[in-house]
Amino acid sequence: MSPSLGPSIPGDARGASIALGNFDGVHAGHQAVIASAQAHADGAALGAAMFEPHPRRFFQPDAPPFRLQSARQRARALAACGIVEMFEIGFDADMAQTSDREFAARVLRDCLGVRHVSVGANFRFGRGRMGDAAALQAFGRELGFTVDVVSPLAHEGARISSSNIREAIAAGDMQRATGGLTRPWAIEGAVQRGFQRGREFGFPTANVNLGDYVRPRLGVYAVRVDLGDGVLLPGVASVGVNPTVGALLEPVLEAHLLDFSGDLYGKLIEVELVAFLRDEAKFESVDLLKQQMREDAVNARSALAQALSHDP
């Protein structure tokens, strides 16, 4: 992967058939754009080009967290779709002022030397979002590369988009989020040392900061946890500020693995939020909280079994 496009890239990376977009989530719609690029590759390498940082973060540096994936997760998801070349297009003040035609000429033709570009029908680019998919097709004819425009996909009557998936996650509708992503939404991060109150209650947790991830509905979830070996372990997790034993300033993911014991501090883990179980609540006593945590563990096993029974 090129961390940022400079004046040139390695010769063997040029001439690819690329999917172009932000690809936050690599959801079903993104996968259709990638499939289009693959169908038009005609022997060329399959690539994906995306802006980094996300243009929203550049234009709204103080905007609330919104990402569906870390860059590492996105790279893995793109590779799983067959992407060989990944190009990060640095989005800065200069790029923000670049016209649509200049972007097509300077980045796509001169820098990447693309053979083909596939984009979603709602793709916009250039200063003030001046260019659309039809403009890109016209520039491609002029500059020597082909362009395919992929229509949006729908899931259960709603258009699949990163924005709609963020809304589903914020509402705790993990089934809708999973449908759009084609996999459960997952948070990845290093396990932080917390107050260790869960350990005192008999429910040790692996705590992960949410960082720039979109904030899910606060509450308790049935989860599956990957400790880095690809094996998914069942668990129950809370996303919230822990109001019963001392509210936190920012929500934290606290995952309890149901069939695991061991030290995870500092380890990079990925937690899939499979099903929403209940809203966060403040309990009148620690004993009532412990009783609810036991019920949550039982409900999590049941929800995971039900979700797995519907997997293709």
Closest CA to 154 of 185, 121, 183, 179: 179
Q: What is the pTM of this model?
A: 0.91
pLDDT in tens, the chain (312 residues): 333 444 457 777 899 999 999 999 999 999 999 999 999 999 999 999 999 999 999 999 999 999 999 999 999 999 999 999 999 999 999 999 999 999 999 999 999 999 999 999 999 999 999 999 999 999 999 999 999 999 999 998 899 999 999 999 999 999 999 999 999 999 999 999 865 565 556 688 999 999 999 999 999 999 999 999 989 999 999 999 887 666 667 899 999 999 898 889 999 999 999 999 999 998 888 889 889 999 999 999 999 999 877 664
Which fold would CATH assign to domain 174-309?
Answer: Elongation Factor Tu (Ef-tu); domain 3 (2.40.30)
165/174 Cα distance (integer angstroms):
9
Which fold would CATH assign to domain 11-152?
Answer: Rossmann fold (3.40.50)
Is 289 buried (19+), middle (13-18) or exposed (0-12) by CB count in 10 A?
A: buried
3-state DSSP assignment of residue 128: helix
Domain locations in the chain as residue ranges: 11-152, 174-309
Equal CATH topology for 11-152 and 174-309:
no
> What DSSP string runs through 194-259?
---HHHHTT---EEEE-TTBPPPPSEEEEEEEE-SSSPEEEEEEEEE--SSS---SS-EEEEEETT
- Edge-first strand listing for the sheet containing 219-226: 185-190, 268-279, 219-226, 232-240, 252-257, 206-209
